[in-house]
């Protein structure tokens, strides 16, 4: 740059010597050679591992094989690239490969698990699964006999009840964390964090200790054993698990509401309560919905707390306030542990239904909670773009 812009020194007729063309180097570039190197290393790692385990020793099973082959591949790849490109670039390439493959490794178990549950659960899935319970189903019944109607009813009632307790409490708690100026905000936030790590079985034990033990011998209220093994107790335990999940998600969403909106509301003379109710919460509506759906997804699959609260039952029990009640996780848990194959298959059918429910909830949460602001900005930018040419014409 300097050589071209500076005026030539007086009296000097020498032209600067032509520079050797510098090779442009992009550190993160992926050339075809790199790909071939990687492929070659993979092949040689596979053959090496095969040689060691199939020929020289007596095998590690395919899981061990993959692990060893992967490590061998990384070592080989490190050696080859270091030799080819030097130490610095070599380390960089190996890190790239290790980081990317670790991410792929993560999804193998995910696909494996989902695939396995579908494979085991699908053959016995009939419409009757949703319309029958386990009345009269013995050890010799087929996997397609009976169904999980009672479990589905139980899950719906328990999660529904848990929502009734959770949503008001969790949303007001999140509002407390964001909109108040209390000095207890920090301790409460720490406690909510700590509660989200509460082992679910402890939540079950807690409800058991507080309600079920002391009232065990109490006479039923209106003929209902309200404080015994029942769906209501399960919903209490489930809300213990949902409260931190929902609170923290809502808390994060409320933090994203621009302060300008709050200030505008207050400046117009609205009360704080009014601002929260009419400005903050409506703005964060989709985020709050996401939080609730995520909370449901978390609670729907919980098994451990139910062992101490709703206990499980094989027949339809529509009343969550009286008597043991089944739910999908308990249904799966009980059936896969029975000795007969038909029961295990029935359990897997339940697992498939449970998985579909959870995945559907998850997708709903993602779709509802998607950041819409970007789409809106895109629309805005398009509108601005139509304005731009006219502005340019107006300029002299």
- State the nearest-atom distance from the C-beta of 67 to another protein, in Å: 7
Judged by beta carbon, residue 10 or residue 197, the one nearer another protein is 197
Instruction: Candidates 122, 164, 256, 359: give the one binding another protein (CB under 8 A).
Output: 359
Q: Rounded CA gap, 302 and 319, in Å?
A: 20
Tokens representing residue 161 in the block: 């009840």
Q: Are 250 and 284 in contact (CB under 8 A)?
A: yes
Q: Which of residues 161-220 bind another protein (CB under 8 A)?
A: 168-170, 172-173, 175-177, 179-180, 182, 184-185, 187-188, 190-206, 208-210, 213
- State the nearest-atom distance from the C-beta of 15 to another protein, in Å: 30
Judged by beta carbon, residue 231 or residue 347, the one nearer another protein is 347
Residue 129 CB coordination number (10 Å): 21
Q: Which of residues 69-128 bind another protein (CB under 8 A)?
A: 88-89, 91-92, 95-96, 98-100, 102-103, 105-107, 109-110, 112-113, 116-117, 120
Judged by beta carbon, residue 17 or residue 109, the one nearer another protein is 109
Judged by beta carbon, residue 88 or residue 142, the one nearer another protein is 88
Q: Which of residues 337-356 bind another protein (CB under 8 A)?
A: 347-348, 351, 354-355
Angle between helices 32-50 and 61-85 (to 10 degrees): 140
Query: What does the per-residue mask of binding to another protein show for 270-289, with x meaning CB under 8 A?
Result: xxxxxxx-xx--xx------
Size of the site for another protein (CB under 8 A): 115
- State the nearest-atom distance from the C-beta of 96 to another protein, in Å: 7
- Residue 304 makes CB contacts below 8 A (sequence gap 6+) with 199, 200, 201, 204
Within the chain, residue ranges assigned H as helices are: 2-5, 32-50, 61-85, 87-121, 149-179, 185-196, 200-207, 231-256, 259-267, 272-275, 281-283, 285-300, 328-336, 341-368, 372-394
- Residue 52 makes CB contacts below 8 A (sequence gap 6+) with 68
Judged by beta carbon, residue 131 or residue 278, the one nearer another protein is 278
Q: Rounded CA gap, 346 and 300, in Å?
A: 19
- State the nearest-atom distance from the C-beta of 391 to another protein, in Å: 25
From the list 176, 356, 319, 166, the residue with the least C-alpha distance to 242 is 166
- State the nearest-atom distance from the C-beta of 387 to another protein, in Å: 20
- State the nearest-atom distance from the C-beta of 276 to another protein, in Å: 7
31 binding another protein? (CB under 8 A): no
For 233, phi then psi, to 5°, come to -60, -40
- State the nearest-atom distance from the C-beta of 200 to another protein, in Å: 6
Judged by beta carbon, residue 46 or residue 198, the one nearer another protein is 198
Q: Which residues of 76-97 are buried (b: 16+ CB within 10 A; e: fewer)?
A: bbbebbbeebeeeebeebbeeb
Judged by beta carbon, residue 144 or residue 283, the one nearer another protein is 283
Q: Are 344 and 117 in contact (CB under 8 A)?
A: no
């Amino acid at each position: 740059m300097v050589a071209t812009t500076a005026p030539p020194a007086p009296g000097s007729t020498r032209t600067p010597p032509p520079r050797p063309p510098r090779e442009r180097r992009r550190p993160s570039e992926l050339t075809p050679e790199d790909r071939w190197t990687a492929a070659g290393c993979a092949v040689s790692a596979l053959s090496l591992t095969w040689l060691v385990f199939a020929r020289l020793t007596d095998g590690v099973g395919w899981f061990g094989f993959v692990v060893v082959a992967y490590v061998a591949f990384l070592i080989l790849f490190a050696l080859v690239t270091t030799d080819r490109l030097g130490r610095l670039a070599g380390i960089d390439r190996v890190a790239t490969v290790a980081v990317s493959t670790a991410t792929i490794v993560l999804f193998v178990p995910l696909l494996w698990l989902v695939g396995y549950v579908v494979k085991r659960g699908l053959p016995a899935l009939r419409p009757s699964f949703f319309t029958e319970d386990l009345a009269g189903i013995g050890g010799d019944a087929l996997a397609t006999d009976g169904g999980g109607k009672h479990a589905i009813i139980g899950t719906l009632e328990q999660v529904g009840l848990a929502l009734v307790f959770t949503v008001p409490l969790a949303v007001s708690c999140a509002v407390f964390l964001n909109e108040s100026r209390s000095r207890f905000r920090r301790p409460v936030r720490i406690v909510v964090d700590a509660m989200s790590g509460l082992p679910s079985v402890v939540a079950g034990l807690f409800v058991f200790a507080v309600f079920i033990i002391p009232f065990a011998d109490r006479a039923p209220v209106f003929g209902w054993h309200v404080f015994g093994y029942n769906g209501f107790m399960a919903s209490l335990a489930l809300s213990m698990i949902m409260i931190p999940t929902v609170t923290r998600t809502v808390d994060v969403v409320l933090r994203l509401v621009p302060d300008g909106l709050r200030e505008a509301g207050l400046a117009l003379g609205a009360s704080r309560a009014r601002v929260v109710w009419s400005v903050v919460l409506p703005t964060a509506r989709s985020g709050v919905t996401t939080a609730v759906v995520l909370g449901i997804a978390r609670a729907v699959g919980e098994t451990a707390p139910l062992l101490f609260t709703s206990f499980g039952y094989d027949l339809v029990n529509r009343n969550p306030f009286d008597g043991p009640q089944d739910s999908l996780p308990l249904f799966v848990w009980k059936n896969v542990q029975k000795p007969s194959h038909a029961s295990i298959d029935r359990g897997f059918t339940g697992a498939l239904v449970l998985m579909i429910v959870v995945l559907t909830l998850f997708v709903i949460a993602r779709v509802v909670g998607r950041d819409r602001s970007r789409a809106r900005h895109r629309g805005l930018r398009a509108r601005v773009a139509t304005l731009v040419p006219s502005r340019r014409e107006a300029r002299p």
